[in-house]
Amino acid sequence: MRYGRLGFWYRLVVVVIRPLLSITTIRDWRGQERIPRTGGVILAANHVSYVDPLTLGLYVLEAGRTPYYLAKASLFEKPFVKRVFIGANQIPVYRGTADAANALTAAVEAVNEGKSVLIYPEGSATRDPDCWPMKARTGIARLALETGAPVIPIAQWGPQRLWKYKAKAPRPFPRKRIQIVTGDPVDLSKYAGRPIDAELLHEVTEVVMAHITDLLVGLRGGTPPAVAFDPRAAA
């Protein structure tokens, strides 16, 4: 596959990471045809591992779109990572500061420019003991409501076996099966035009996360918890 359209830094990451993933993972990828090939779109996925931004990013790239991530601002503080992220036009998220609104503004602008913005509604890798999606933040809802762009749910399973959250290093061998599936756009039409308040944001967020969780059940089986794990309540 040709990556000339990506720009130097994005292409550099791809040409380094793609061969590494090819020898450490087994693909079980489905539903890439459901990712719109053009126009602004919001890709919403569960987050299970340090490595799933790489596996999911490659999945989206090979579906014909360039993913633009909302990434923690702290990652932009490391000199080399900062150069790569800025060079690849990724979007910093300033949590817990007055700059949080600016991060969302940048994401809205990216979607309105016709880009595919990839967001983890949970905000970070899940802390749920069984790796089910945890309670999500409402940024996904605000982004969807402010742009009116389609929200495409994506579920993934397997990256946690390659590099478990909190583990000091990955476990590349034996090769790990990486399952990713994309669902149909989330129907948010009934929310259009309503005043954006906390109640609406939470409701839309729950709808999006329900779609992601349903897709995840199809990948891994089992029954998700009746109430999503809340890391803030557990802290």
Encode pLDDT of 129-163 as tens digits.
Answer: 999 999 999 999 999 999 999 999 999 999 999 99
Across the range 217-222, mean pLDDT stands at 98
Residue 73, pLDDT > 80, answer no
Across the range 23-43, mean pLDDT stands at 97
Q: What is the 8-class DSSP label of residue 230? A: -
What order do you get walking across the sheet with 25-30 strand by strand?
A: 25-30, 176-182, 151-157, 41-45, 116-119, 67-72, 91-93
Q: Which two tokens stand for residue 113?
A: 């420019």
- pLDDT bracket for residue 62 (50, 70, 90): very high
3-state DSSP call for residue 26?
Answer: strand
Report d(CA 114, CA 111) in Å as an integer: 5
Report d(CA 216, CA 96) in Å as an integer: 30
Residue 72 CB burial class (10 angstroms; 0-12, 13-18, ≥19): middle
Backbone angles phi, psi at 85, to 5 degrees: -65, -45
Residue 17, pLDDT > 90, answer no
Report d(CA 204, CA 127) in Å as an integer: 22
Q: Which of 49, 4, 79, 43 is nearest to 181 (CA)?
A: 43
Across the range 166-180, mean pLDDT stands at 95
Q: Are 12 and 84 in contact (CB under 8 A)?
A: yes
pLDDT reported for residue 11 = 77
Q: Which two tokens stand for residue 85?
A: 């992220």
Across the range 77-81, mean pLDDT stands at 53
Across the range 30-47, mean pLDDT stands at 98
- What percentage of residues in the chain have a pLDDT greater than 70? 83
Across the range 177-192, mean pLDDT stands at 97
- What percentage of residues in the chain have a pLDDT greater than 90? 69
- pLDDT bracket for residue 4 (50, 70, 90): very low
Would the CA dihedral through 227, 138, 119, 37 be positive or negative?
A: positive
Domain range list for the chain = 39-161+176-221
Q: What is the pTM of this model?
A: 0.91
Question: CATH: 1.10.260.30, 3.40.1130.10, 2.30.30.230, 3.30.450.20. Which one for 39-161+176-221?
Answer: 3.40.1130.10
pLDDT reported for residue 69 = 87
Residue 45, pLDDT > 80, answer yes
Per the prediction, the chain carries an average pLDDT of: 88
Q: Which of 100, 146, 139 is nearest to 118 (CA)?
A: 139
